[in-house]
Amino acid sequence: MRPSDASARPVARRRHGGVVAVAALAGLFAFGLAGHHVVATTAHAQAWPTWTAADGRFDEARADYEATADRGDAAIARAEYLLGMATGDLVRPEDREALAERIESARGILADSPAGPAGIVELGDPATPAPAWERYADLWRLLELVPSRHAAAERFEAAVDRVADGTGALAEASETLISGTEELATVALDASPSATYRFRHAAEAALDGLRHSPTTSSGDADRFTALATAIADVRASHAAEEERRNAHPVRAEIESFARSIASGVELEFAWAYEVAGRSSDVWYSGTAEFKPDGVGWGLISLTESIERDWYSDENAKAVVVHEVGHTQVLRDECYAIFTADPFSGDHETWATAWAIGIGYDLPGAGIEAYGRPSDAQIAAAAQCR
């Protein structure tokens, strides 16, 4: 063998082995990199739902808090408005004080807003390709972000409850104040039974308006004032009526009689020397007017001669019965009879027939002035009882 041949073969063998080694190392490195990427990507994908759940919980809690806080702000504004207009002797001082305290408490609750989560969110979406080191970095951040999101969500959820409780306390205090005013107004009405219907109806309407209106939510500052004024009018009317009845006991008796046969129709009375052009020197005279307020009521005007001869002439009483008969058309069941045959809306024939039908078959019942109704008309009016 030639020296040149012997030396060539070992060299060739060493070069071949080095290439194989390098290739093997390259393969191992590539495999290692691929393995890291698979591990990082898999871990990232598995951790992502935990993050989205925590982040979603916080977003929901924050949105819920913001909506609750907005309602709380609106509730405070309404309560402040109510407190500003709820004045006068129909508002209990303790109810005002309680509402003021609830307003201050609700303000404090809203001022103590919850802290948000810590950490800056810079995470890659699992659907977007990224190198392993970015996935590992995300995983490291999630160790802080997920607990922080849950802790913040708990703070916001607790704040929602506190704000809701404060708003509920405001509503309760507002209700207590309004209910207290309603109670005081009702007591005042009950203590004024002699007040005329027009004033009682005005007070009842103002009382209804206290609650069934924009009062407690959007700006009608006259409601409490209107109620206080109406109740003052009721008290004044009661006092005036009591004084009048004491000064004219026979008139009071006549009015009481008229109401006793009116089947609940509200009546008021006016007395004068002359009514409908007829003076007390010669006539018993009366008129009836219909008023639309509330369920409707009647104003009966009578001559002083009826008061003078109340005990001595049944015709004086018959005139009163005739006028009460006019007011009965305010009752639905009687109005239906009045508008149909045989009356067809004839007021005077109706009132005369009604008076005869309850036993006052006298000239003063309307027979002298308007003639006697037919038996059919009397029978029809008698159905109105």
**What does the alpha-carbon distance between residue 240 and residue 138 come to, in Å, rounded to a whole number?**
87
Mean pLDDT of 214-219: 47
Mean pLDDT of 200-222: 73
Bigger pLDDT: 115 vs 266: 266
Bigger pLDDT: 174 vs 217: 174
pLDDT, residue 276, reads 95
**What does the alpha-carbon distance between residue 13 and residue 189 come to, in Å, rounded to a whole number?**
122
pLDDT, residue 116, reads 79
Q: Answer whether 345's CB lies under 8 Å from 351's CB.
A: no
Q: Where are the domains of the chain?
A: 12-114+130-190, 196-246, 248-381
Q: What are the structure tokens assigned to 149, written together?
A: 């999101």
The CA angle 301-303-307, to the nearest 5 degrees, is 110
pLDDT, residue 237, reads 97
pLDDT in tens, 344-374: 999 999 999 999 999 999 999 999 999 999 9
pLDDT, residue 7, reads 41
Q: In the predicted model, is pLDDT for residue 63 greater than 90? A: yes
**What does the alpha-carbon distance between residue 136 and residue 124 come to, in Å, rounded to a whole number?**
11
pLDDT, residue 28, reads 35
HSE-up of residue 68 (Cα within 13 Å, Cβ side) = 24
pLDDT, residue 150, reads 78
Radius of gyration of the chain (CA): 46
Q: Answer whether 118's CB lies under 8 Å from 144's CB.
A: yes
Average pLDDT value over all residues in the chain:
84
* Global model pTM greater than 0.95: no
